[in-house]
Structure 1
Amino acid sequence: MSEQFHTQKHAIRTSFEKAAHSYDAAAVLQREIVDRMFERLELIRLSPPRVLDAGSGTGYAVPKLRSRFTDAQIIELDLAHSMLSVSREKQLGTGVKKLLKRLSSTTPAQVCSDIEQLPFADNSLDMIWSSLTLQWCNTPDAAFAEFQRVLKPGGLLMFATLGPDTLKELRSAFAGIDGYEHVNQFIDMHDLGDALITQGFATPVMDMEYLTLTYQDAKSVMQDLKGIGAHNTMQGRRTGMFGKAAWQQVQTQYEVLRRDGKLPCTYEVIYGHAWKNDRPRPQGVRPDGSQIIEFRPRNS
């Protein structure tokens, strides 16, 4: 991906810090994707003692993970501290109930950190669950390398992220407005699969589907994106004010796509899971399994 379109981590953190209290009201798609991930998880047999929710947000997946893995320690990790705070508030409740839950050992641990720099020891986790977080990485390699490092041999990585056709209607509406990129770009499913293999994951399974939300107008689309903190965070984004005439042009171009009285907003959702190989890689073999061949001069 071009460096011009790289996301800026500090901008991502700031955006999600601000969106923490509006997130749940706007995160209809995000909850649906988590539910669909759990349907896929039903097909996998495992009982992990230690599970990391990497990019846990306001904690929608946490009670589901706790219900699915009743004896596991659940760890929430997010880049935005306020997201973790909202999750903790929901889990603890209020009054006497809050006090009792605070004393309970079932309350998940929380860590504010970056998935590209995980603060965990090597081989210390049994499963990593990550829903709609990897798309905020410029390349998946650093995150996959960290997931590989902290997972125990035989550990499972399960994730969902967004593909290149995500927000294609919004991208079309902004086309030709100015010389700036107004919509984040996303990584192709095949590149994600290749990155998993390169980082040493075994038997990756990938699939994709399109989910389309509908809106009354372009402003509602933008409001929902703002509500979940999904601002444009690329280095090539426009930083100044967006004029009234330009915004009118965006709305006009979006209107061309109206169907059955509604404006579509498409998300390309990519699902994947892979295992950390439980056998050490032989010397002279790359993470993707290819042989390293060295040519050395013959001794005279």
Structure 2
Amino acid sequence: MPVLFDAKHVRRAFARAASSYHAAAALQQEVGKRLQESLDYLDNRQPQVVLDVGSGPAHATAAMKKRWPKAQVIALDLALPMLVEARKQAGWWRPFARVCADAGALPLADNSVDVIFSNLCLQWLDDLPAVFAGFRRVLKPGGLLVCSTFGPETLVELRDAFSQADDAPHVSPFVPIAQFGDALMMAGFRDPVLDRDLFTLTYDDVPALMRELKAIGATNAVRNRRHTLTGRGRFAAARSAYEPLRRADGKLPSSWEVIYAQAWAPAPGAPIREQGHDVAAVPLSAIPIRRKPRD
């Protein structure tokens, strides 16, 4: 897989945004609430271990700890300052664990997690099939994955405006819903259900939109981005290109496509899928060995 994102830049951006994230992340909180509704598919099952991947300041983690007070609930995030902020949600009456780690390399044992919850984190990772394979590895057979990500219509107005200013990428690429579902299937998940929403947020001007993106850590992390400051001329050109979209209420629109998915880890003994093909995994103890009789 080609490396699209600068992981160090992603970590630094979210570390800097830790203190401002919750106040600015109204959309992320709304999506998180909708994603939590998918947890109802567990019916009356009480999970023992719940993992929140890309937890940020862990408001969803705290909600799941409240929902399942006897479960071990873990907030996992790439940015340590986010987990420092998460301490505010983990009071002594409902404590949860906090782990600083990469979502693409989960430091958990195989078959150890009942539920994985991941809200608007996966768009920062390059190899979705590999990430989902890691999720499947740590999930128990029959475990539930619920996740969300941004789709390709996200920030399309900003992307188009900057494309008229220069040729450098200014907005991250986002996978379409079909590719997201394919990645789940390639990793061997069963019965995936996908849905999408299209939100339209409004801003006074382009600088206001850019300030909010910075406040939530959603800065341009594409590896081949321009590494110098956007010049006044290019920024003015982008603002001018965005301006015809101004609405009757005087606001500029910004589209955010959100993809939701839920899927189940397969039953014990199901083959692992690699590159779209089933790969049988049989323990040595289960293989009969025929021994030649000695003369």
TM-score (ref. length: structure 2): 0.89
Contact (CA 8 Å) 2:194, 2:260: kept in 1 or not? yes
Who is 1:91 aligned against? 90
Who is 2:73 aligned against? 74
Who is 2:36 aligned against? 38
| Aligned mates of 1:291, 1:123 — CA distance in 2 | 18
| Aligned mates of 1:287, 1:38 — CA distance in 2 | 30
TM-score (ref. length: structure 1): 0.88
TM-superposition CA deviations, 1:15-55 (whole Å, max 9, x none): 11111011111101010100111233334423211000000
Q: How does 1:124-203 map to 2 (within 5 A)?
A: 124-203=112-191
| Aligned mates of 1:78, 1:160 — CA distance in 2 | 15
SS state of the match for residue 57, structure 2?
coil
Contact (CA 8 Å) 1:197, 1:287: kept in 2 or not? no
SS state of the match for residue 128, structure 1?
strand
Deviates more, 1:244-253 or 1:147-156: 244-253
Q: Is 1:57 equivalent to 2:56 in the alignment?
A: yes
| Aligned mates of 1:84, 1:286 — CA distance in 2 | 33
Who is 1:21 aligned against? 19
Instruction: State the Cα distance separating 1:72 from its structure 2 match.
Output: 1.0
Who is 2:222 aligned against? 234
Instruction: State the Cα distance separating 1:89 from its structure 2 match.
Output: 2.8
In structure 2, list runs of 5 or more residues that go unmatched: 281-295
SS state of the match for residue 209, structure 1?
strand
2:240 to 247, 252, 257: 252
| Aligned mates of 1:226, 1:60 — CA distance in 2 | 20
| Aligned mates of 2:260, 2:80 — CA distance in 1 | 26
Contact (CA 8 Å) 2:59, 2:89: kept in 1 or not? no
Contact (CA 8 Å) 1:200, 1:287: kept in 2 or not? no
Instruction: State the Cα distance separating 1:176 from its structure 2 match.
Output: 2.5
Who is 1:277 aligned against? 266
Who is 1:243 aligned against? 231
| Aligned mates of 2:190, 2:24 — CA distance in 1 | 36
TM-superposition CA deviations, 1:199-248 (whole Å, max 9, x none): 11111111111011111111110000000000100012111121112111
In structure 1, list runs of 5 or more residues that go unmatched: 93-100, 293-300
Q: Is 1:218 equivalent to 2:206 in the alignment?
A: yes
Q: Cα gap change, 1:282/1:18 in structure 2, threshold over 3 Å: closer, same or farther?
A: closer
TM-superposition CA deviations, 1:34-92 (whole Å, max 9, x none): 01112333344232110000000011102211122222110000000000000113434
1:114 to 97, 102, 124: 102
Q: Give the alignment's Cα RMSD to 1 decimal.
A: 2.0
Who is 2:253 aligned against? 264
Question: What letter matches 1:152 in structure 2?
Answer: K
Contact (CA 8 Å) 1:157, 1:273: kept in 2 or not? yes
| Aligned mates of 2:271, 2:220 — CA distance in 1 | 43
Percent identity between matched residues is 43
Contact (CA 8 Å) 2:198, 2:257: kept in 1 or not? yes
Deviates more, 1:60-69 or 1:11-20: 60-69
Contact (CA 8 Å) 2:146, 2:261: kept in 1 or not? yes
